[in-house]
Structure 1
Amino acid sequence: MARTDRAVAVVVLTDEERETLARWARSSQALAQWCRIVLGCADGKSDQEVATELGIGPQTVGKWRRRFLDRLVDEPRLGAPRRITDERVEQVVVATLERTPSDATHWSRASIAAESGLSRSTVGRIWKAFNLKPHQVDTFKLSNDPQFVDKVRDVIGLYLDLPEKALVLCVDEKSQIQAVDRSAPVLPMMPGLPECRTHDYVRHGVTTLFAALDVPTGEVIGSVHRRHLAVEFKKFLTRIDKEVSADVDVHLVCDNYGTRKHLTVRKWLEAHPRFHMHFTPTYSSWLNQVEHGFGLLTDRRLRRAAHRSLRALENDIRDWIKTWNEDSKPFA
C-alpha cells in the first residue's frame, strides 16, 4: 500500500513576525536559511516543496518547522523573566555574520560581548543556538579544468559500474615521507598524563610510497622508492603488470602529475595496451580513493611514530600494507 503523506503543522505568522523574518532572510548563512524555511512553511508549502525550493533536505525543513512551533506554544517557565530581547539577539547574530572587529580577523566571545554589552556566556549561548563558530575556518579549492565534468563522470562511472574482465586501480604516490626520530625517548602514557614527546626531532631522510588500490576489494599493491620520478613510476607499472592476471584489462585512476605523461611512461603504455589511464580533474585528488588509504596510513602508523633510520620507516610502511591486505575493505 502506498504511504500517504502526513499532515504538516501549519505555521501562522503575524505581520510583524513576517516583516522581521523577511528582513533577516536578506542576511547571510544559517540565519537567512532558517528564515526562508519558516516563511515558506507560512505560505502553506509542504516540507518537500520548501526543501526543493531551497535546495536542502525535507528533514531539515521539518526540524525547523517543529522548532518554530514549539517556540510559539512553549508554556511559561519558572524563574526570572527573560532579559535578552530578540533585537539584541539579532544584533549579535548579524554582527557575527556580516562584520569583523577592527582589531582582528574574526569575533571572539570576549570581543563581541564587549561591543554588545552582553556577557560572554550569553554570547556563547546565542552562537550555540544559531550554530555559529567564528573561531573555525575551512578551506576549499575550485578546479579550473575545462574538462572537469567529463573527467568526473569518467572516474565515478568506473567506481559505480566496474567493467567486465577488468581491474580498476586507484594509483598515486605519497612522497616526502620523513623518517623522523625524537631527540629524546618518548615518555609512555600514564594515568592522568598523555604520552609525551619532545618538540624537536632528527630527520633521517625521506622516501616515497607508490600505491595502487583495488576499488572492489580495497587491497593495496605498494612499492617503496627513494625518488618519485618517471623511472620509478614505470617500475611500479611493471610490478602491477606482473601481479595482475594477464587476461584482464587494467584501468588506472590517477592525477595529472608530470610522471604520468612522461615519454618513458607513454612508451611503456603503448607497449602494454591493456592498461588504460583515467585522469582526475586538476585540484581534485579527493576523487582518487587511494588518498583515503594514505590518510589511514598517516593516522595509524606515521604521524606519531619514531623511526631511527629510513629503512625502519620503509619496513613499517610495508608491514602496514601487509596487515591492511589481510582484512582489506573497499571504500564507499
Structure 2
Amino acid sequence: MANRAAAALVLREGDREELARLTRSSSVRAGLAQRARIVLLAADGETNVAIAERVGVSRPTVISWRHRYGAKGIAGLEDEARPGRPREVDYSKVVSTTLEPPPRKYGVTHWSSRLLGRHLGVSNGTIAAIWRQAGVQPWQAETFKFSTDPELVAKVTDVVGLYLAPPENAIVLCVDEKSQIQALDRTAPMLPMQPGLPQRRTHDYVRHGTTTLFAALEIATGQVTAAVKPRHRHQEFLAFLKQVARAYPDQQLHLVMDNYAAHKRVEIRDWLAANPRVQVHFTATSGSWLNLVEVWFGIIERQAIHRGTFRSVKDLNAKIRAFVDGWNDRAHPFVWTKTADEILKKANRQNTSSTGH
C-alpha cells in the first residue's frame, strides 16, 4: 500500500509570525532559518518529499524537524547541546597558525576564517572573534619599499633638514614630473549627481593620448610652478628648470628632486654649474616619498584628473592649467613634521624585519 502524505503540521499560536521572521532575518544562523522554512512549508500542507526538494535537504531531515517542532515548538529547532565537556579553544594556537602560511594542499595564499576553522576543528565565528581580539587581518596586505642607497643617511638628513630648517633668504622647491597622464573620454556623457544618487559614468572610455605635468612646489607657501609638455626627456626638464628660475629671479633656490636619469644628464649638470644660485638636493634611491611634490600630485590626481573627462590632450592640458591656477589662489604651506632620526629609525626597523635579523 502506498505511503500516505503526512498531514499538515499544526502550528502553535503565534508561531507563524515568528517562523516567518526567522526565514527573513539576516542575523540568525542559516540552519535555523532553514528549519523554520521546513516547518512553515509543512504547515502549508506540502509533502515531505516536496519540502525536501524545495529546501535542499533529505526527506528524513524534513521528518526529523517536523517531529522536533511538534514536541517542543520553536525551541525544538535550536541545536541541542552536545554531550561531553565544551570544547576549549587554544587562543595562542589560533593566532600562531594564522601567522603561518596555509599548507600547500589548500592552494591559497592566506587563511579565511572558515578555512582555518575547518583546519583547527572550531567554528569560523570563534576564529573571527579571536582575530578581532588579536588584531590580525589575514585578508589585508600592504606594500613597502626600503632604500638600498649607500648615501641614505646623508640624503635623508639633507632633505629633511631643508624642510625643517630652510636656509634664510632662500626658496625650497620640490620638483618632479607626473608622466603618462591619459586624456580619457567616456563613451557617453556623465550623469550628474542628484539627491540620493552619486555622479555616474560609463565604465569604458576612449583614449586621446597622454601628457606630462612638470611641477615645482614651494613648501613655504604651497604655490606651484607648472608646465605641461608632450614628453619627459631631459630637454623638457631643462626647459622647465629655466622656467622655474625665471619665476624666482635673483633668489637662492634649493631644489629637491629624485634620481631619475633625465635629472642627471650632462646638459642639466652644465646648466646648474652655470647657475650657482640653484642648488639640487637628491632624494635617496627608492625614496621619492621624501619629495613633497608627490603629495601635491596626489591632490591633483584625486581632484582634477581621476574623475575628469578629456576630449583631447589639449583639453587635458587646459584643465590641468585651470587646476593649477585655482590651487595657487587657495594654496597653503606644506609642513614636514618627522625628523631625520625618526625616519631612519623606521627604515632600519623595516630593513631588519624584511631580512629576518
TM-score, scaled to structure 1: 0.71
- Cα–Cα, structure 1 residues 83 and 331, in superposed 2: closer, same or farther, change >3 Å? farther
Secondary structure at 2:235's aligned position in 1? helix
Give the ranges of 4+ consecutive aligned residues of structure 1 lying more than 6 Å apart after TM superposition: none
Aligned equivalent of 2:169, options 165, 171, 177: 165
Percent identical pairs in the alignment equals 48
Secondary structure at 2:90's aligned position in 1? helix
- Cα–Cα, structure 1 residues 235 and 83, in superposed 2: closer, same or farther, change >3 Å? farther
Structure 1 residue 147, shift from structure 2 partner? 0.5
- Cα–Cα, structure 1 residues 114 and 147, in superposed 2: closer, same or farther, change >3 Å? same
Q: Which has the larger radius of gyration?
A: 2
Aligned equivalent of 1:260, options 251, 255, 263: 263
Structure 1 residue 190, shift from structure 2 partner? 4.7
CA distance in 2, matches of 1:228, 1:259: 8
How many residues are paired up? 250
Aligned equivalent of 1:245, options 223, 242, 249: 249
Structure 1 residue 83, shift from structure 2 partner? 5.7
Q: Report which stretch shifted further, 126-135 or 94-103.
A: 94-103
Aligned equivalent of 1:93, options 85, 95, 111: 95
Aligned equivalent of 1:184, options 178, 185, 188: 188
Within the alignment, does 1:327 sit opposite 2:335 as a pair?
no
Q: 1:132 maps to what in 2?
A: 136
Within the alignment, does 1:141 sit opposite 2:145 as a pair?
yes
- Cα–Cα, structure 1 residues 84 and 219, in superposed 2: closer, same or farther, change >3 Å? farther
CA distance in 1, matches of 2:277, 2:232: 24
Aligned equivalent of 2:115, options 89, 95, 111: 111
Q: 2:280 maps to what in 1?
A: 277
CA distance in 1, matches of 2:173, 2:275: 16
Deviations 1:30-54 (A, max 9, x none): xxxxxxxxxxxxxxxxxxxxxxxxx
Secondary structure at 2:281's aligned position in 1? strand
Secondary structure at 1:306's aligned position in 2? coil
| Unmatched runs of 5 consecutive residues or more in structure 2 | 1-80, 336-357
Query: CA-atom RMSD, angstroms?
Result: 1.9
Aligned equivalent of 1:307, options 307, 310, 319: 310
- Cα–Cα, structure 1 residues 159 and 197, in superposed 2: closer, same or farther, change >3 Å? same
- Cα–Cα, structure 1 residues 128 and 275, in superposed 2: closer, same or farther, change >3 Å? same
| Unmatched runs of 5 consecutive residues or more in structure 1 | 1-79
Structure 1 residue 250, shift from structure 2 partner? 0.5
What one-letter code is carried by the residue in structure 1 that aligns with 2:284? P
- Cα–Cα, structure 1 residues 327 and 194, in superposed 2: closer, same or farther, change >3 Å? closer
CA distance in 1, matches of 2:100, 2:121: 18
Deviations 1:206-246 (A, max 9, x none): 00010000011111111111111111111111111111031
Deviations 1:24-77 (A, max 9, x none): xxxxxxxxxxxxxxxxxxxxxxxxxxxxxxxxxxxxxxxxxxxxxxxxxxxxxx
Secondary structure at 1:98's aligned position in 2? coil
Secondary structure at 2:122's aligned position in 1? coil
Structure 1 residue 187, shift from structure 2 partner? 2.9
Q: 1:317 maps to what in 2?
A: 320
Q: 1:232 maps to what in 2?
A: 236
CA distance in 1, matches of 2:197, 2:118: 37
CA distance in 1, matches of 2:312, 2:183: 6
List aligned pairs for 1:57-72, cutoff 5 A: none
- Cα–Cα, structure 1 residues 147 and 191, in superposed 2: closer, same or farther, change >3 Å? same
CA distance in 2, matches of 1:128, 1:185: 45
Secondary structure at 1:207's aligned position in 2? strand
